[in-house]
């Protein structure tokens, strides 16, 4: 109860342990996982833990103010390879599972990531970023001082750009290096470069017989102009590369079946551009035939849940059963994610689904059981064993002390009918210390994407606003995942249309049904697409008394040329490029309607945001300020589009405090 527990604060993000990447040991008696937290130096650190299934305490396998991840067991379970930043860059290290110090395996100049063992344990395959003339046998890791000197020299040189895809929000400005596949011979301690094409290669799997490597890449001459990601096999004996897909789609999460006769993967062919639901494919290696197991489904495969406390990667499938007659995977459906299985005849079955967020899993072929990573709206994360009997047994008690101390509000699930009778799902959080008979200010939260999903997961920002005394409403308007192909496609070429009326219908619904909301104190906020929609809302209605727009889009004309995705996203979402119809793009731009804005607006933006660049916020600020509107602009140094989820901890806290400050001042 709130009277016995304190309210959540912005600084509480530093108190959370975030679990990810559960991995069964080869014998199925134990598992490893990654725990990520913010340390006393205000930096992220992540460590590997080992835990027996019999309930013993977890044993830390790594220590220090560094990031460790991607633990992979050798087939005999005697060693584990993982990546760690302990030497300065992500490099590969090997640890004996019976104890002892980890040994550094790679000393690559630009680091090494994503290791995987061959099925016989003779090789480790991984990704490394290389220049075209790099020699993998003579790689030398730079010291911290050498890297600093190189970076300082680089800053003094002009950047020469001759590619369309010359930057990304994740990496910043690109160079000529490419992700290549490297094979490490464990016995002879020898490195062999497997790929060399002028493109990035993504390792997927190695065949059970050790003869073929499965990878994704775009090897077309026009790769710089395409978003294609094909699937290939590389024959390790002959070095021959075979293309498995047809150059029309994007494929990922591929794996060989236990016998090596088949390959499963996820992907699609952009039928609805970025709003296309993923499909589950199986390739027969002998015949080359491709079968779509998900052809008759209408749900998104994988985890599309939005949250702000998910750090680290986890397996979401597809994963083969030991008899290779079934595949296991996570899917996104109606505000939740769950674990599913499908036979090779496309018979679909739900193995586990509840009002929560399954963010990862591991499968044990010995017991036919699973370890599930689960988050709920009131608990950031825990691991559970899903046994063959369908019994769910909790394995961890993460953040127990923290959750005993703070009040976390349970959301109420809503079903709202939109103007055209479309049903919209949403959730309502009551404020901390709620009292019947009182009136409370209200905040509408709008997610980004737009093709993503709010749902049954822990969300610190939403809980913080409730803790500050606001009624919080968050919904999945049309364009969101989780409700089928037609629904997720419904906002394309209609931004500010049906999606806008969905949100306004949701606000009308809660005002009509919850008398404790003060209709004269309404606030709105959102990030990315949610920032666009915040801008759109306040330029089309004055019913909100305060707004905070985050990493937003205000002008689609300039977005086309400045965003790392603008050159294709504009066409995908609006049906046209800049020169096709500039007037129509201007019609979709909130900046066009700036003179209508009467709502006090706070603009939050990261200086290094390449997805929705800071000039989008700057244009809006200058325009509104020039018209003497009530507006403020906060620019976060060293922050990209991921500020709210994985940005620098001190900047994340500053951001949350600015949001709360603005709403406190105007609501």
Phi (first) and psi of residue 292, to 5 degrees: -95, 110
Q: What is the dihedral of CA 633, 635, 641, 645, to 10 degrees?
A: -100
Cα dist. 594→9, 22, 231, 236, 629 in Å?
34, 48, 46, 60, 9
Number of Cβ within 10 Å of residue 526's Cβ equals 25
Sign of the C-alpha dihedral computed for residues 451, 456, 460 and 462 taken in this order? positive
Number of Cβ within 10 Å of residue 422's Cβ equals 18
Structure tokens given for 484: 């089928």
- CB proximity list for 404: less than 8 A, separation 6 or greater: 5
Helix (H, G, I), strand (E, B) or coil at 89: coil
Catalytic residues: 528, 641
CB 133 within 8 A of CB 139: no
Nearest to 170 by CA among 568, 641, 567, 648: 641
Place of tokens 């590619």: 163
Count of H-run helices and E-run strands, the chain? 12, 39
Q: What is the dihedral of CA 239, 244, 247, 250, to 10 degrees?
A: -110
Give one word for 435, left, alpha or beta, with left for phi > 0 and alpha for psi -120 to 50. Answer: beta
**Eight-state DSSP code of residue 142:** P
Q: What is the dihedral of CA 534, 538, 541, 544, to 10 degrees?
A: 90
Q: Sort strands 601-606 and 631-636 into parallel, antiparallel or unpaired.
A: parallel
Helices 649-666 and 460-467, axial angle in degrees (round to 10): 40
Number of Cβ within 10 Å of residue 181's Cβ equals 22
């Amino acid at each position: 109860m709130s009277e016995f527990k304190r309210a959540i604060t912005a600084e509480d993000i530093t108190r959370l342990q975030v679990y990810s990447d559960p991995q069964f040991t080869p014998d199925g008696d134990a598992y490893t996982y990654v725990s990520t937290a913010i340390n006393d130096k205000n930096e992220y650190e992540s460590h590997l833990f080992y835990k027996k299934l019999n309930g013993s305490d977890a044993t830390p396998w790594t220590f220090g103010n560094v990031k460790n991840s991607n633990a992979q067991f050798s087939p005999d379970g005697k060693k584990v390879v993982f990546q760690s930043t302990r030497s300065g860059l992500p490099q590969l290290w090997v640890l004996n599972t019976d104890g002892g110090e980890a040994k550094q395996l790679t000393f690559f100049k630009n680091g090494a990531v994503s290791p995987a063992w061959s099925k016989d344990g003779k090789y480790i395959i991984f990704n490394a970023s290389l220049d075209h003339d790099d020699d993998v046998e003579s790689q030398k890791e730079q010291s911290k001082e050498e890297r600093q000197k190189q970076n300082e020299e680089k800053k003094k040189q002009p950047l020469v750009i001759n590619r369309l895809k010359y930057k990304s929000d994740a990496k910043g400005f690109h160079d000529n290096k490419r992700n290549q596949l490297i094979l490490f011979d464990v016995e002879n301690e020898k490195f062999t470069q497997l790929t060399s094409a002028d493109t990035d290669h993504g390792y997927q799997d190695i065949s059970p017989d050790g003869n073929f490597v499965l990878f994704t890449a775009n090897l077309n001459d026009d790769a710089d102009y395409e978003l294609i990601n094909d699937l290939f096999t590389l024959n390790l004996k002959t070095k021959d590369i075979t293309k498995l897909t047809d150059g029309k789609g994007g494929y990922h999460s591929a794996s060989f079946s236990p016998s090596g006769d088949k390959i499963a993967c996820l992907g699609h062919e952009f039928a609805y551009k970025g709003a296309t639901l993923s499909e589950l494919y199986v390739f027969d290696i002998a015949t080359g035939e491709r079968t779509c197991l998900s052809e008759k489904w209408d749900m998104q495969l994988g985890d599309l849940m939005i949250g702000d406390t998910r750090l680290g990667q986890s397996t979401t499938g597809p994963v083969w059963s030991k008899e290779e007659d079934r595949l296991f995977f996570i899917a996104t459906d109606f505000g939740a994610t769950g674990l599913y299985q499908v036979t090779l005849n496309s018979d679909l079955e739900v193995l586990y689904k509840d009002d929560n967020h399954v963010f990862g899993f591991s499968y044990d072929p010995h017991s036919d059981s699973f370890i599930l990573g689960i988050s709920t709206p009131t608990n950031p994360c825990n691991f559970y064993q899903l046994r063959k009997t369908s019994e769910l047994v909790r394995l961890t008690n993460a953040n127990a002390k923290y959750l005993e101390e703070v009040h976390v509000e349970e959301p109420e699930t809503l079903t709202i009918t939109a103007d055209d009778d479309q049903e919209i799902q949403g959730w309502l959080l009551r404020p901390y210390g709620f009292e019947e008979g009182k009136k409370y200010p209200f905040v509408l939260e709008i997610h980004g994407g737009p093709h993503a999903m709010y749902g049954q997961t822990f969300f610190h920002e939403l809980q913080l606003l409730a803790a500050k005394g606001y009624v919080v409403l968050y919904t999945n308007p049309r364009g969101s995942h989780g409700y089928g192909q037609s629904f997720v496609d419904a906002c394309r070429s209609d931004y500010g249309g049906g999606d806008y009326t969905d949100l306004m219908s949701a606000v009308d619904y809660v005002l009509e049904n919850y008398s404790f909301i003060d209709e004269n104190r309404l606030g709105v906020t959102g990030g990315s697409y949610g920032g666009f929609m915040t801008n759109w809302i306040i330029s089309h209605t004055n019913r909100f008394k305060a707004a905070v727009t985050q990493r937003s889009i205000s002008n689609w004309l300039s977005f086309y040329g400045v965003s790392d995705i603008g050159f294709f996203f504009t066409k995908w979402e609006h049906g046209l490029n800049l020169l096709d119809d500039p007037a129509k793009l201007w019609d979709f731009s909130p900046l066009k309607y700036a003179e209508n804005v009467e709502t006090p607006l706070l603009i939050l933006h990261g200086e290094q945001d390449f997805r929705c660049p800071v000039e989008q916020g700057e244009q809006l600020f200058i325009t509104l300020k020039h018209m003497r509107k009530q507006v403020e602009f906060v620019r976060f140094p060293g922050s990209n589009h991921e500020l709210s989820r994985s940005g620098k901890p001190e900047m994340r806290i500053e951001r949350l405090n600015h949001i709360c400050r603005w709403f406190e001042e105007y609501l």
